[in-house]
Amino acid sequence: MKIFTSAQIHELDKYTIEHEPISSIDLMERAAKALSRAIEEEWTNRTPIVVFAGPGNNGGDALAISRILAEDGYSVSVFLFNVLNHLSEDCAANKQRLIDGKKVKSFTEITLNFDPPELTTDTLVIDGLFGSGLNKPLAGGFAAMVKYINQSSAQVVSIDIPSGLMCEDNTYNIHQNIIHADLTLTLQQKKLSMLLADNQAYIGRLKVLDIRLSPTYISATDSQYRILEESDIRSRILNRNDFAHKGSMGSALIIAGSYGMAGAAVLCTKACLRSGAGKVYTHTPRRNYDIMQISVPEAILQTDHEETYFSETVDTEAYNAMAIGPGLGMQENTAITLISQIRRATCPMVIDADAINILGNHRAWIQQLPKDIILTPHPKEFDRLAGATSNGCYDRLHRAQQMAEHLQAYIILKGHYSALCMPDGHIEFNPTGNSGMATAGSGDVLTGIITALLARGYSEADACRVGMYLHGLAGDLAAKDLGKESLIASDIIAYLPQAFLRVNE
Instruction: List residues bridging with 411 in a β-sheet.
Output: 375, 421
Which among 76, 41, 449 is positioned nearest to 205, based on CA atoms?
Answer: 41
Same domain, 154 and 250: no
Backbone angles phi, psi at 106, to 5 degrees: -155, 150
Domain boundary (160, 195, 223) is at: 223
| Overall number of domains in the chain | 2
Same domain, 194 and 282: no
Same domain, 176 and 85: yes
Residue 389: what pLDDT?
Answer: 82
Same domain, 326 and 180: no
Same domain, 50 and 194: yes
SS3 404: helix
**In which element (H, E) is residue 427 found?**
strand 427-429
Same domain, 75 and 186: yes
Residue 384: what pLDDT?
Answer: 95
Q: What is the CATH number of the domain that holds 423?
A: 3.40.1190.20
Q: Are strands 374-375 and 410-413 parallel, antiparallel or unpaired?
A: parallel
Same domain, 250 and 208: no
Backbone angles phi, psi at 101, to 5 degrees: -70, -30
CB 504 within 8 Å of CB 473: no
Same domain, 216 and 239: no
CA distance 80 to 90: 13
CB 304 within 8 Å of CB 334: no
Q: What is the CATH number of the domain that holds 46?
A: 3.40.50.10260
Residue 391: what pLDDT?
Answer: 86
Range of the domain at 486: 230-503
Cβ neighbours, 10 Å, residue 106: 11
Domain boundary (192, 223, 254) is at: 223
Same domain, 334 and 215: no
CA distance 176 to 174: 6
Same domain, 211 and 273: no
CB crowding 275-309: b at 16 or more within 10 Å, else e:
bbbbbbbbbbbebbeeebeebbeebebbbbebebb
Q: Report if pTM > 0.75.
A: yes
Q: Is 176 left (phi over 0), alpha (psi -120 to 50) or beta?
A: alpha
Domain boundary (188, 206, 223) is at: 223
Residue segments in the chain with a per-residue pLDDT below the cut of 50? none
Residue 505: what pLDDT?
Answer: 81
Q: Within 13 A of 215's CA, how many CA atoms are on the CB side?
A: 2
CA distance 272 to 280: 7
Same domain, 390 and 497: yes
CA distance 460 to 476: 24
Which among 446, 419, 455, 428 is positioned nearest to 238, based on CA atoms?
Answer: 455
Residue 390: what pLDDT?
Answer: 80
Q: How would you class 387 by CB atoms within 10 Å of its CB: exposed for 0-12, middle for 13-18, buried for 19 or more?
A: exposed
Residue 87: what pLDDT?
Answer: 97
Same domain, 49 and 136: yes
